[in-house]
Amino acid sequence: MKTAFTSAKAMIALMFMSAGLATMSLPAQAAPQNHAPAGAAHAQYGVDAGRKIEARIQDLKGRLADGRRSGRISRAENSRLTTSLNSIISLKRQYERSGRGLSQPEINTLNTKLDILSGKVRVQGHDNNRR
């Protein structure tokens, strides 16, 4: 009885070992090769992100103009917010002058600054003080 149990354990162990060897001997599928130049993906990402950031900047310009035109944003508020927007635009241009597109940390910085400014435009447009 003990030998039958031992031989069953041995048989199971052999089955697992052979299954393991079979999977190890299978050829791995080749991963698709990306033949683009090393910096091309980064540059393309930076270009796409640059377009999205530019769209956000244009949106903020429009919101500021609408707020000023409707009277929801005072001349002084508009001046302060436009100065902040212009500094973000200047920073974006500085980053772009590197010639390699926008890096992820630069994109994050610009998006954070645009998020903050967007919140300020929203608050100033709804504060009803018009000063």
The C-alpha atoms of residue 90 and residue 19 are separated, in whole angstroms, by 62
Residue 2 has pLDDT above 60, yes or no: no
Residue 29 has pLDDT above 70, yes or no: no
Lookup result for tokens 């599928």: 29
Query: Which pLDDT score, from 0 to 100, does residue 9 have?
Result: 65
pTM for the full predicted model? 0.63
Burial 22-37 (b: 16+ CB within 10 A, else e): eeeeeeeeeeeeeeee
The pLDDT value given to residue 120: 94
- The owner of tokens 């635009």 is 89
For 69-118, write each residue's pLDDT tens digit: 999 999 999 999 999 999 999 999 999 998 878 999 999 999 999 999 99
Q: Could you give the CA distance from residue 122 to residue 53 in angstroms, rounded to a whole number?
A: 18
CA dihedral 17, 19, 21, 24 (to 10 degrees): -140
Strand, coil or helix: 52: helix
Q: What is the pLDDT, as a whole number, of residue 50?
A: 86
Residue 79 · residue 73 · CB < 8 Å: no
Q: In sequence order, what are the residues at sequence separation of 6 or more whose Cβ sits closer than 8 angstroms to the Cβ of residue 34?
A: 41
